[in-house]
């Protein structure tokens, strides 16, 4: 029997169904007495009639009630409503370990930390004479506070002084039923041999399951597998899993040995207590395995003395700080090494959601530069020597993206504040070289020439690295784009991407002769192309980084492409991938990922008020005027975007529009009455209005424009503000369109600077917008007049970041005499009071909101119309920092084909 929203069990009112859990259904409910959200587990109706089922359900309640531990899901209450028995438990926010492992293995530091928390919980249960019996990734929840062990429904209390008295009572449930050839079984894969053989069990069966779980955390692979129940059972009883080092060569031998001991077939040969396991894991976490370095690394140091990446296995602290080490090269071949590292806690790359690149190895392989933002809000270029040492921020590089090196490894080029710039790697003055309104890549030749793409459309340009006049390299029609240049070794030829804007369906990698100006198509690939010695062309296909032999003298490919990395961070909109390759075989790349986020309410002091619905991969949220609905844009790994309209009261969403690809972005603004939305079409050439409930056909508001999207709807319902790209001048302007159609869409504020993201104040008297008039993106506010624009007053002083996934300059609060924006320097949400008297606008001092805490990078949000609450899509993962993967001597992968 299933129960609907609104059903009650005593004081508990159901608000949503969460799914099945062991012996019953699980629901989200509100405790009306204590006004808190809880989880209710109800005994399945088809089992309620059996005495055995009722007894097992009652046993679960008694078992859990004895367990009070920070890493065990808490039991609040147990009861019966008529014939329905139920448990009331702690409601957890997060994802299961099984769901996390579906994305790949955990970083070593997380594997060890989560392992410690799991065995600490098991140790508590075992000391009370309780064996879990069904430990598996699906019964471990990852929350912001750490792991939570779930579902003791199969646990059986045993005498504390005799932990071997009972046999397995009943078969555990399966994670995945065996439904056909190739399917895999669930819980059986974590069952100790004595469980499968029906023998008496004790706490050591949980340690076997823990070993299988720890193996999966470290490798992303199951320790035992099979395509039939018999094959799987045989693997558990007689087989041995592949060594962890097969998948993770740099795993500490101490961890490898611990897992092997936990998985011993004979339980007398197995590690004997959860406490012993915990002590060993703590020793590893504290660096106790440093003296026991991975054999692959030792061999590498003795053989070639080349690149040695000292990762978490050798030092967990080093792993947190990029885990990179560098030794001098020697000619002896070295083995292929793969590893995953974590950025410092809270650091995010500049590539997130932007299609820019963030990683660049110096040509001499001595340094790595990263375009990123630290946890404390500092943004720019971070440099680290591969010989060791700390990351250091290069001064005056705020907002930098797409770094690239000079051939001598002494200087770094980058884009920031709509400029092409350079900075000495050793530190020093930043020099602006050229305008770059919306840059799309650059390359630095050995002759001191930089070729770059200054905008998302148009041709390539060149400038001397010493500065000077900018000259045209390629001329293309208005709807075409040349971008992502990459010099070949001769300095005369370069690779680039040619495409049509905004179609991009016919993109190709071409070769340009700088002396003749002739461009020759090379490959029909919708990706950038990069050349690397000893003679390969690298590009991305279906998320895989491909390497194809390339003759740099004859300018042609000579063989078939081979995949050298999977799931590389790639922007199909910009054709750009975030990787860097050295000529000596080192590959660094950012892995693509989708972050699940939970819609969460906060007040403007930063206090959490509650969450809404289920987690989803939100990348934009726009709250309706009544604060009861929200438009959400969801991202998927293949680059598809989906628009959903969410009912915040019920926590459910429905599809609003057909999915689009990246580059055909959704932007919506609500009408003042919340009945309609203005949205751009897929090509970015027109604006339509659509009824929010879908009952009326779409109505064209403006058409025949270029790269247009709506930003605000006037409070009287008569006008919609637009951001429009000037097809001739290349700058962004503010336009307005009449909803009634009495006047065609027309420019409102158009200068040589970039203006856009306009937002009407709640009373319609003011217009906020961003402009690059000062040389950086700042927030301005001006009196609004239908007759034309007035002089704007600058509100910010250190730059603003259009943030939260909402295309708006600022967030009007309350009556419209207060506005908030995201300050670029500290990544804080700050508010400014405004006073408009006698046509003069007076601006107060900025003061931080949300308790002064910096906003988490990449987490979309919007502020309610009354200015009292903020709805944010908060990551449910503890560490959302992007994964950076390392492959040494990647050319070995080509030899295996």
**Catalytic residue set:** 134
Among 66, 75, 90, 212, residue whose Cα is nearest residue 143: 90
> Distance between CA 464 and CA 782 in Å, rounded?
40
Contact 666, 660 (CB under 8 A): yes
> Distance between CA 568 and CA 589 in Å, rounded?
7
Task: Compute the radius of gyration of the chain from its Cα atoms.
Answer: 30
Chain centroid to CA 34? 35
DSSP state of 553: T
Among 620, 610, 619, 614, residue whose Cα is nearest residue 598: 614
Contact 516, 526 (CB under 8 A): no
Partner residues linked to 368 by β-bridges: 361, 384
Q: Helix 274-285 crosses helix 108-127 at what angle (to 10 degrees)?
A: 150
How is the chain split among helix, strand and coil, in percent rounded to 5?
15, 35, 50
- 285 CB-contact burial (10 Å; exposed 0-12 / middle 13-18 / buried 19+): middle
CB atoms within 10 A of CB 622: 23
Partner residues linked to 90 by β-bridges: 38
Please name the residue ranges forming H helices in 220-334: 229-238, 244-247, 253-262, 274-285, 295-303, 316-320
Partner residues linked to 523 by β-bridges: 509
State the number of CA atoms in the 13 A half-sphere of 310 facing the CB: 20
Among 563, 567, 561, residue whose Cα is nearest residue 524: 561
- 675 CB-contact burial (10 Å; exposed 0-12 / middle 13-18 / buried 19+): middle
Give CB contacts under 8 A, 24+ apart, made by 775-784. Answer: 775/417, 776/417, 776/824, 777/417, 777/801, 777/802, 777/824, 779/809, 779/810, 779/819, 779/821, 780/809, 781/819, 781/834, 781/841, 781/843, 782/841, 783/836, 783/839, 783/841, 784/760
Among 670, 655, 657, residue whose Cα is nearest residue 624: 670
What is each CA distance from 482 to 148, 499, 665, in whole angstroms? 51, 7, 21
- 663 CB-contact burial (10 Å; exposed 0-12 / middle 13-18 / buried 19+): buried
DSSP state of 191: -
Q: Which residues contact 596 (CB under 8 A, 6 or more apart)?
A: 95, 615, 616, 617, 875, 876, 877
Beta strand pairing call for 556-557 and 579-581: unpaired
Contact 601, 870 (CB under 8 A): yes
> Distance between CA 16 and CA 28 in Å, rounded?
5
Among 324, 322, 415, residue whose Cα is nearest residue 374: 322
Among 768, 833, 773, residue whose Cα is nearest residue 802: 768
Which letter, b or e, does each residue of 388-403 get, where b requires 16 or more Cβ atoms within 10 Å of its Cβ? Answer: eeebebbebbbbbbbb
> Distance between CA 674 and CA 318 in Å, rounded?
52
């Amino acid at each position: 029997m299933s129960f609907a929203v609104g059903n009650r069990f005593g004081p508990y009112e159901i608000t949503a169904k969460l799914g099945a859990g062991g012996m019953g259904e699980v629901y989200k409910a509100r405790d009306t007495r204590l006004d808190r959200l809880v989880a209710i587990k109800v005994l399945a109706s088809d089992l309620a009639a059996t005495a055995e089922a009722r007894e097992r359900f009652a046993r679960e309640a008694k078992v859990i009630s004895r367990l009070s531990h920070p890493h065990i899901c808490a039991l609040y209450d147990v009861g019966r409503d008529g014939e329905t028995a139920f448990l009331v438990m702690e409601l957890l926010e997060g994802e299961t370990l099984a769901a996390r492992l579906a994305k790949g293995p955990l970083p070593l530091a997380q594997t060890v930390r989560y392992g410690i928390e799991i065995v600490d919980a098991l140790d508590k249960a075992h000391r009370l004479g309780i064996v879990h019996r069904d430990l598996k990734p699906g019964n471990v929840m990852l929350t912001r506070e750490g792991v939570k062990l779930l579902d003791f429904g199969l646990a059986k209390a045993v005498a504390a002084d005799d932990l071997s008295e009972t046999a397995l009572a009943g078969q555990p449930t399966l994670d995945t039923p065996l439904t056909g050839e190739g399917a895999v079984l669930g819980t059986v894969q974590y069952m100790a041999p004595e469980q499968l053989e029906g023998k008496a069990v004790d706490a050591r069966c949980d340690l076997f399951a823990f070993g299988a779980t720890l193996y999966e955390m470290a490798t992303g692979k199951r320790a035992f597998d099979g395509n039939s129940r018999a094959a799987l059972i045989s693997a558990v009883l007689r087989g041995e899993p592949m060594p962890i080092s097969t998948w993770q060569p740099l795993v500490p031998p101490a961890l490898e040995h611990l897992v092997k001991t936990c998985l011993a077939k004979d339980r007398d040969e197995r590690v004997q207590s959860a406490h012993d396991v915990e002590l060993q894991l703590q020793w590893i976490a504290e660096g106790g395995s440093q003296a026991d370095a991975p054999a692959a690394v030792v061999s590498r140091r003795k053989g070639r003395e080349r690149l040695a990446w000292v990762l978490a296995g050798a030092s967990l602290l080093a792993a947190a700080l990029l885990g990179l080490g560098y030794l001098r090269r020697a000619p002896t071949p070295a083995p292929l090494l793969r590893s995953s590292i974590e950025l410092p806690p809270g650091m995010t790359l500049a590539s997130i959601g932007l299609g820019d690149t963030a990683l660049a190895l110096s040509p001499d392989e001595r340094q790595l530069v990263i375009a990123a933002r630290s946890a404390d809000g500092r943004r720019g270029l971070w440099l680290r020597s591969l010989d060791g040492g700390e990351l250091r921020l290069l001064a005056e590089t705020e907002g930098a993206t797409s770094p690239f090196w000079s051939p001598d490894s002494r200087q770094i080029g980058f884009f920031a504040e709509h400029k092409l710039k350079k900075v000495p790697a050793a530190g020093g003055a930043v020099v602006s070289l050229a305008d770059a309104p919306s840059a799309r890549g650059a390359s630095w030749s050995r002759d001191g020439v930089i070729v770059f793409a200054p905008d998302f459309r148009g041709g390539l340009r060149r400038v001397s690295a010493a500065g000077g006049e900018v000259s045209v390299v390629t001329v293309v029609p208005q709807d075409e784009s040349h971008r992502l240049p990459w010099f070949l070794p001769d300095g005369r030829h370069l690779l680039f991407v040619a495409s049509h804007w905004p179609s991009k369906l016919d993109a190709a990698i071409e070769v340009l002769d700088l002396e003749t100006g002739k461009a020759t198509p090379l490959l029909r690939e919708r990706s950038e192309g990069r050349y690397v010695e000893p003679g390969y062309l690298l590009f991305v296909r279906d998320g895989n980084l491909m390497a194809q032999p390339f003759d740099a003298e004859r300018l042609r490919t000579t063989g078939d492409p081979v995949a050298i990395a999977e799931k590389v961070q790639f922007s199909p909109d910009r054709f750009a991938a975030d990787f860097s390759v050295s000529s000596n075989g080192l590959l660094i790349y950012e892995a693509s990922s989708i972050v699940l986020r939970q819609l969460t309410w906060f007040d403007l002091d930063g206090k959490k008020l509650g969450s809404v619905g289920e987690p989803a991969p939100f990348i934009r949220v726009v709250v309706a005027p009544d604060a009861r609905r929200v438009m959400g844009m969801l991202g998927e790994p293949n680059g598809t975007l989906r628009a959903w309209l969410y009912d915040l009261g019920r926590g459910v969403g429905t599809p609003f529009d057909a999915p689009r690809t990246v580059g055909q972005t959704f932007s919506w603004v609500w009408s003042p009455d919340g009945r309609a939305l203005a949205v751009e079409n897929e090509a970015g050439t027109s604006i339509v209005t659509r009824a929010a409930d879908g009952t009326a056909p779409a109505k064209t508001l403006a058409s025949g424009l270029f790269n247009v999207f709506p930003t605000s709807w006037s409070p009287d319902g008569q006008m919609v503000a637009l951001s429009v790209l000037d097809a001739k001048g290349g700058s962004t302007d503010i336009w307005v369109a009449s909803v009634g159609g009495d006047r065609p869409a027309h420019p409102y504020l158009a200068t040589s600077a970039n203006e856009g993201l306009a937002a009407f104040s709640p009373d319609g008297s003011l217009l906020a917008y961003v402009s690059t008039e000062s040389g950086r993106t700042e927030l301005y506010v001006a009196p609004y007049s239908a007759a034309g624009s007035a002089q704007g007053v600058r509100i910010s002083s250190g730059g603003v970041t259009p943030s939260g996934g909402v295309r708006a300059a600022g967030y009007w609060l309350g009556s419209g005499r207060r506005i908030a924006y995201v300050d670029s320097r500290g990544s804080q949400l700050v508010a400014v009071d405004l006073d408009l008297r006698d046509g003069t606008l007076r601006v107060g001092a900025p003061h931080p909101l949300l308790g002064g805490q910096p906003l988490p990078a990449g987490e979309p949000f919007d502020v309610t119309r009354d200015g009292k609450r903020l709805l944010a899509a908060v990551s449910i993962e503890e560490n959302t920092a992007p994964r950076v993967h390392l492959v040494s001597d990647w050319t070995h992968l080509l030899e295996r084909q």
